Structure 1
Amino acid sequence: SVSVIKEYNVKRPYISKHSSHYRSFQVQRRKQKVENLIKYLKERQTIFIKRREDSENIIRASYIISEKIAKHSRNYSDGEFVKECLQAVAEIFCSVFSLAIDESIDVSNTAQLVVFVREIDEGLNITEEMLSLWGMKDTTTGENIFQELKMLMAGFNLHFKNLHGLSTNGTPAMVGSKASLVSKIRSELASMNIDTKDLSIFHCIIHQENFIYFIKSRALNHRQFKEFLEDIEAEYGDLTYYCEVRRLSKGKMLKRFYDLRSEIFTFMEMKGKSMPESSDDGWICDLAFLVDFISYLNELNLKLQEDQFIHQSYSHIKTFQNKMQLLERQLRNCNTFHFPTLAIHGKTIVLLKQMRFQDFRSQETNLRIFSSPFDININQAPEELQMELIELQGNEDLKREMRDHSLIEFNKSLPRENFPLIVDFARKKMSLFGSIYKCEQLFSKMKSKFKARSRITDNHFENNLRVATSSISSNIEMLVKKHQRQISH
């Protein structure tokens, strides 16, 4: 009777929620689906256990090799030859990874640089964690950031030859033409005779502006400005400082600036700061346009903040581009329906910012191969993938597999012996960051270093944020066992 009750409890949620999806499955297909689900669950459960065992396996392997050399009376120098062979094999099966890098200023005026890594192993298992957070005490030039990153990667045994993608905030120090981080990384790859075309570079859409720092970064100016707004009974009592709440508030910051523009211009004149823009009607019109335009960028940014693969990010960007084309046509016809701030100002302008989507456009074919390999035109695919894609597109069983499974599960199920290049291609694309959303999420948690705790050390600060952002659960039981207990308590 007890077993009957258990069976009913298991069947009830299946009948109510899942039966409609699996009712059409035949016996063999149902059995295969169950096996795949069990396999996927076991893989998820063992992914981090495997990483803890890696260091022990390396030591174990060295002892086994030493024993074999001794038993066969081989020269000790043979160990070096075996090591070279193992390194050659490891280069074939090593994990590929991508990095996301961003910078923000904390309350103690220290530039905090954060690096996230997204790694894909041979089994197409994804690991995405914060690699490091460090305070840049010196200047934040491309050279400084590159040297810090180089030491960081060496400490985590990450190699530039396995770096497939880099996402940054788009500042000159990151993506400038000469001495930026990107140019330094490309030079490093070139020195290793690695084709830099294989490195995918993406940078954030919205750039940082420094317009209102003069008022808010100086305590005296800030107090005087707030008093000035109170005296004239302005609509708002202060400016919004967007770094306090990061990029998604930039639209609100610009709207506040636009609403207070007359008061700001008057205050700046009182402080002896010349602002010729105050009498430039075209500049005011541009500002009104920007207030409305940034709101659309905020919508896009919110969608890019989600945890997703890069082809999904690209879909959001394509939709955004279609909206921009509509807005451009309307502006050319003096239609400001979708630009309320600009409409209130009473003037129209023909202005559409050239967005930096070339990164994604250059990857469009590759992203389509990754997300829809059965629909891609073979002639558009890279030559090295064409033969395997023909085999793939001619396989009806695999086509059904892709319809019934997620993109990750489908690529995991591909026979590596038949499609080695496609599987490796999928690994690289799965490793890419579509945006620096992970960095943005971390900076939103930087409130842990508020003014009352601004003396917290960089090491403690990094550890706090690592715990706050990590998807890996802490091993509390191990910490308890390691902790020295006080018996008297």
Structure 2
Amino acid sequence: DELASDVESQLKTKAKDFISYSLAVDESTDRTDTAQLSIFIRGVDSQLSVTEELLDVKPIHGTTTGKDIFTQVEQSVNKMELPWSKLVGLTTDGAPAMCGEVRGLVGLTRKAMGDTGENLVVYHCIIHQEALCGKVLGMEHVMTVVTKTVNFIRARGLNHRQFRALLEEENSVQEDLPYHTEVRWLSRGKVLRRFYDTRTEIARFMESKQRPVPELENEKWLGDLAFMCDITEHLNSLNVKLQGRKQLITEMWDSVKAFELKLRLWEGQMRRGNLTHFPTCQTISATVTIPRPTQVYADKLNTLKEEFSRRFADFESQKFNIDLFANPFAIDVDTAPEHLQLELIELQCNSALKTQYQSVGAAEFAPLLPESVPELRLHAANIMSMFGSTYSCEQMFSIMNLNKTSHRSRITDQHLTSVLKVATAKDIKPRIDKIICKKRCRVSGKS
């Protein structure tokens, strides 16, 4: 508790110097079915230094409506004495209670902010969005068979041991099959890859158990499996790029835009029968006799591309602000907001600053902006403070599940919050020496 209190005290002191800050809010249920609200803050001070820490963990024992969530967030913000006027971004998991514009967290936050509420930038977590985009592929006829087969092998200890022994006897490149867990971002791709690599052993094992899988003899189904392996691995690669603390929203948006362009490239190549970027499809096409349904796969890629465009429309609306931060020297002054035009001219005509920008890049360049361009500095602070995802919240929930286990389910809300504040502290560390100095040693008296 004392370590957590010291971290909170340091954060409160730092927060007084924030010129802008954003919040990432997510909610999950712990081992005792208590809803735990995770609130992370990312603030930027006058020196354009970024601080990202856990603001608070709030247990909600009753309903989890938008009003309930907002009440908890409001208490945490007020406890830290953070002015609402400096809140520039709010990132959530996209649940209705979070993103509702009237009675949700977003709507109530805008109302609490007053006149500045209309400027609040709201994002649905990029990683959640990317995971949801992958669902438009459909292909349930593939996933149903894969999941059913994997569950049969893994559900019983005897089946699992026998299957692993079979893989070892066959000198398979894979040693086991993982479960498919829907809530884990990378699970689908890993399960599909392992299933494809061990499809021969799986077919033999299932036949030995009188549970044959006829789809493993169906060339069209195997082609669909190969396509799903390749596209989910591409999606997983993007997902990994989007993970991590202190990711700049501009860099995350660059990754998404690059993936959309890749989808356009892959669609065109697929329509021409070019499988260069789909190695599993290339491999399977050499062994099957039926024509490759490349037009069907091209249509799937087109659907995925359109879903990315639709879901990331809110990021597209912030394109100018992102471009201004990423490369202020390439911005057309005539199209810029009037309060930034004079400062942009001054900046773009400064050859020394332009040289520095080219050598260090956008992220490192922001703190080098001179005091003579205060509006550009504030704009940079706003962009740097924004959360592109609720990754920090998800990471904290993993730590929560490691601490509040079935054997420690009676840990109090206060102690759980203290544990999580200490465990997640990154930019701020507990000042242990200072805490120790306040302690008084108790020396036993001499007899």
Structure-2-length-normalised TM-score:
0.69
- Equivalent in the alignment of 1:141: 65
2:388 to 434, 442, 453: 434
* Aligned 8 A contact 2:22 2:87 in 1: yes
Structure 1's unaligned 5+ residue stretches are 1-47, 56-92, 212-220, 267-280
Could you say which structure has the larger radius of gyration? Answer: 1
- Equivalent in the alignment of 2:97: 173
- Equivalent in the alignment of 1:314: 253
**Separation in 1, partners of 2:254, 2:177:** 40
- Equivalent in the alignment of 1:152: 76
Would the alpha carbon gap of residues 404 and 232 (structure 1) be closer, same or farther in structure 2, given more than 3 Å must change? closer
- 1:19-168 matches, cutoff 5 A: 52=13, 95-168=19-92
Confirm whether residue 201 of structure 1 aligns to residue 123 of structure 2.
yes
**Separation in 1, partners of 2:222, 2:84:** 46
**Separation in 1, partners of 2:328, 2:191:** 43
**Separation in 1, partners of 2:122, 2:15:** 29
2:108 to 171, 177, 184: 184
- Equivalent in the alignment of 2:148: none
Farther off after superposition, 420-429 or 200-209: 200-209
- CA positional deviation for 1:387: 1.9
* Aligned 8 A contact 1:97 1:432 in 2: yes
Counterpart AA for 1:302: V
- CA positional deviation for 1:381: 2.1
**Separation in 1, partners of 2:47, 2:10:** 15
- CA positional deviation for 1:323: 1.6
Would the alpha carbon gap of residues 331 and 180 (structure 1) be closer, same or farther in structure 2, given more than 3 Å must change? farther
Confirm whether residue 444 of structure 1 aligns to residue 398 of structure 2.
yes
* Aligned 8 A contact 1:98 1:164 in 2: yes
Per the alignment, in what secondary structure is the counterpart of residue 435 of structure 1? coil
* Aligned 8 A contact 1:175 1:183 in 2: yes
Give me the identity figure in percent. 37
**Separation in 1, partners of 2:381, 2:111:** 24
Confirm whether residue 300 of structure 1 aligns to residue 238 of structure 2.
yes
- Equivalent in the alignment of 2:263: 324
Structure 2's unaligned 5+ residue stretches are 1-8, 141-150, 168-175, 207-218, 286-291
- Equivalent in the alignment of 2:325: 370
- CA positional deviation for 1:159: 3.2
Counterpart AA for 1:252: K
Per the alignment, in what secondary structure is the counterpart of residue 36 of structure 2? strand
1:479 to 413, 431, 435: 435
* Aligned 8 A contact 1:365 1:380 in 2: no
Q: How many residues matched?
A: 378
Q: Deviation per CA, 1:356-399, whole angstroms, max 9, x where unpaired?
A: 22232222221221121112222332232122111211122332
Would the alpha carbon gap of residues 111 and 251 (structure 1) be closer, same or farther in structure 2, given more than 3 Å must change? farther
**Separation in 2, partners of 1:335, 1:363:** 35
Per the alignment, in what secondary structure is the counterpart of residue 300 of structure 2? coil
**Separation in 2, partners of 1:142, 1:175:** 8
After superposition, the CA RMSD in angstroms is 4.3
Counterpart AA for 1:359: D
**Separation in 2, partners of 1:382, 1:374:** 15
- CA positional deviation for 1:470: 0.8
Per the alignment, in what secondary structure is the counterpart of residue 144 of structure 1? helix
Structure-1-length-normalised TM-score:
0.64
Per the alignment, in what secondary structure is the counterpart of residue 129 of structure 1? strand
- CA positional deviation for 1:131: 0.6
**Separation in 2, partners of 1:347, 1:125:** 52
Per the alignment, in what secondary structure is the counterpart of residue 474 of structure 1? coil
